[in-house]
């Protein structure tokens, strides 16, 4: 196996000393302001740094800072929410930043200050997981656990793993990705010792149901996920719950590819060209029929948009299949603001005018009688069942899709709860070739279409 100079990679991906100083100086100011404001207002609360910056596992240019404002466990929830947000807003205002309120298990505020994004999140101080009041309360114990157990040189191993996963498309626990979280990366390095150790384990021994239990809690049977990583600070939680089988499998393949043919290129974005004419040519060569449903996404948080679009995509594929049209593939994409796209690629998109309809068994006298009354002398016997040919309601897939996306027929589909109104209000069903020739296809949609056609592209170099 060719040796990789990991130090050269680390030089590119580790924060520089000036970058670290900038972040540290900003943090010192923010923590000082929050704690001073708390004293001034007579609030029992204290700011503490958590997350990858606190653990020293953040990547250059990725200093998304998590400042948690911790309150005593006996604090009323409404008081915690009110003063957590108030302290965050006041701190951002004093630093001449821009504030944006967001929601997780409870509200928090994000500040954009000096080119950095900082989350100010109120939480409770807990001694152990039995005292949990919300999911964010685990974050401080997570940070403390990693800082206590991660050896100094292993922070570099975590950074290599995060960067590798990012470059092969498997990093990020948000629904949009369905991949590995930063905390899970840290636990993997703790379990397998190094970046290369994680890859070798994935290649050699991972399969659905693989268990990582650093504290030997023995609670893995509680979970039914592709990868089970029992949370060291909460034995009843699987850290890998957000990881789907697709991304786990992609990582296993990419790990094997890297170990077989190591290359520094795995740590950098792949140079891809999204040529409209080549993408159009590829769709034409496939001999399939591809339709796009385009619409404007609802104005809801991104974490809620993606599962709702995926639910709608899956429902459309199922309904189309049920009508007799064979689906080769489906996918979906959104820019989270102006555009959303659901893609359906069909192997069959035109059907005969008639279809075979199975009737009752010939032994079922009552059902048989009603069936024959309805279809008279058109029915015949195949095996031990009555069969009849009936006119097909939908012969054309495009007509079918357009017909079911109207108010009185929308019940065919299972929508994400915020999507139904948006799709009914303004949508378009368009053939992929027509769309590519329309001038409506921007670079982001081209990338989406390219990746649909080249789904393993990121897994090798």
* Alpha carbon separation from 157 to 142, 185, 219 (Å, rounded): 18, 9, 28
Among candidate residues 433, 453, 440, the one with its CA nearest the CA of residue 284: 433
Angstrom distance (rounded) from CA 315 to CA 178: 19
Angstrom distance (rounded) from CA 69 to CA 114: 21
* Alpha carbon separation from 406 to 119, 145, 295, 411, 413 (Å, rounded): 42, 53, 14, 9, 11
Beta carbons within 8 Å of 155's beta carbon, 6+ residues apart: 55, 56, 57
Ligand-binding site membership of 64 (annotated): yes
Ligand-binding site membership of 142 (annotated): yes
The three state secondary structure string of 3-27 is: CCCHHHHHHHHCCCHHHHHHHHHHH
* Alpha carbon separation from 197 to 48, 141, 261 (Å, rounded): 32, 25, 16
Ligand-binding site membership of 130 (annotated): no
Displacement of CA 375 from its chain's centroid (Å): 50
Angstrom distance (rounded) from CA 68 to CA 46: 8
Ligand-binding site membership of 417 (annotated): no
Domains of the chain as residue ranges with CATH? 6-148 (3.30.460.10), 150-267 (1.10.1410.30), 276-350+395-459 (3.30.70.590), 354-391 (3.30.70)
pLDDT value at position 376? 79
Displacement of CA 210 from its chain's centroid (Å): 21
pLDDT value at position 1? 53
Numbers of helices and strands, H then E, in the chain: 16, 15
pLDDT value at position 303? 85
Query: Tens of pLDDT along the chain (461 residues)?
Result: 557 899 999 999 999 999 999 999 999 999 999 999 999 999 999 999 999 999 999 999 988 899 999 999 999 999 999 999 999 999 999 999 999 998 877 789 999 999 899 999 999 999 999 999 999 999 999 999 999 999 989 999 999 999 999 999 999 999 999 999 999 999 999 999 999 999 999 999 999 999 999 999 999 999 999 999 999 999 999 999 999 999 999 999 999 999 999 999 999 999 999 999 999 999 999 999 999 999 999 998 888 899 999 999 999 999 999 999 999 999 999 999 999 999 999 999 999 999 999 999 999 988 999 999 899 789 999 999 999 999 999 999 999 999 999 877 777 788 888 898 889 889 999 999 999 999 989 999 999 999 999 999 999 99
Ligand-binding site membership of 162 (annotated): yes
Angstrom distance (rounded) from CA 187 to CA 231: 9
Q: Are strands 107-113 and 116-124 parallel, antiparallel or unpaired?
A: antiparallel
The two most distant CA atoms of the chain are separated, in Å, by 90
Ligand-binding site membership of 376 (annotated): no
Ligand-binding site membership of 32 (annotated): no
Ligand-binding site membership of 364 (annotated): no
């Amino acid at each position: 196996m060719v040796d990789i100079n990991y130090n050269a990679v680390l030089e590119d991906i580790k924060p520089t000393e000036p970058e670290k100083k900038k972040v540290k100086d900003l943090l010192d100011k923010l923590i000082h302001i929050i704690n001073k404001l708390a004293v001034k207002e007579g609030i029992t609360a204290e700011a503490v740094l958590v997350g990858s910056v606190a653990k020293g596992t953040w990547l250059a240019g990725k200093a998304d800072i998590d400042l948690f404002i911790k309150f005593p466990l006996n604090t009323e929830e409404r008081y915690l929410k009110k003063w957590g947000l108030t302290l965050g807003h006041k701190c951002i205002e004093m630093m001449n930043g821009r504030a944006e309120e967001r929601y997780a298990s409870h509200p928090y505020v994000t500040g954009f200050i000096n080119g950095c994004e900082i989350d100010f999140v109120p939480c409770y101080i807990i001694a152990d997981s039995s005292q949990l009041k919300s999911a964010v309360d685990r974050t401080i114990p997570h940070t403390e656990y990693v800082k206590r157990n991660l050896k100094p040189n292993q922070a570099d191993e975590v950074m290599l793993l995060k960067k590798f996963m990012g470059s092969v498309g498997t990093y990020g626990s948000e629904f949009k990705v369905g991949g590995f979280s930063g905390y899970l990366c840290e636990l993997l390095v703790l379990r397998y010792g190094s970046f290369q150790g994680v890859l070798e384990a994935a290649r050699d021994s991972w399969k659905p149901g693989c268990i990582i239990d650093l504290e030997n809690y023995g609670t893995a049977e509680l979970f039914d996920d592709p990868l089970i990583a029992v949370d060291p600070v909460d034995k009843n939680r699987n850290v890998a719950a957000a990881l789907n089988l697709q991304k786990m499998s992609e990582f296993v393949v990419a790990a094997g590819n890297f170990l077989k043919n190591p290359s520094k290129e795995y740590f950098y974005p792949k140079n891809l060209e999204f040529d409209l004419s080549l993408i159009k040519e590829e769709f034409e060569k496939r001999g399939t029929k591809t339709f796009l449903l385009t619409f404007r996404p609802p104005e809801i948080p991104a974490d809620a948009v993606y599962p709702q679009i995926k639910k709608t995509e899956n429902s459309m594929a199922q309904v189309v299949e049920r009508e007799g049209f064979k689906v080769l593939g489906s996918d979906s994409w959104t820019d989270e603001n102006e555009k959303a796209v659901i893609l359906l690629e069909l192997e069959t998109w035109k059907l005969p005018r008639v279809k075979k309809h199975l009737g009752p068994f010939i032994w079922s006298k009552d059902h048989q009688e009603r069936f024959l009354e309805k279809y008279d002398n058109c029915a015949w016997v195949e095996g031990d069942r009555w069969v009849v040919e009936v006119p097909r309601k939908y012969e054309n897939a495009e007509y079918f899709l357009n017909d079911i996306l109207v108010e009185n027929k929308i019940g065919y589909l299972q929508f994400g709860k915020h999507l139904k109104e948006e799709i009914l209000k303004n949508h378009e069903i368009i053939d992929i070739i027509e769309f590519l020739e329309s001038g409506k296809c921007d670079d982001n949609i081209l990338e989406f279409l390219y990746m649909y056609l080249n789904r393993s592209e990121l897994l090798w170099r």
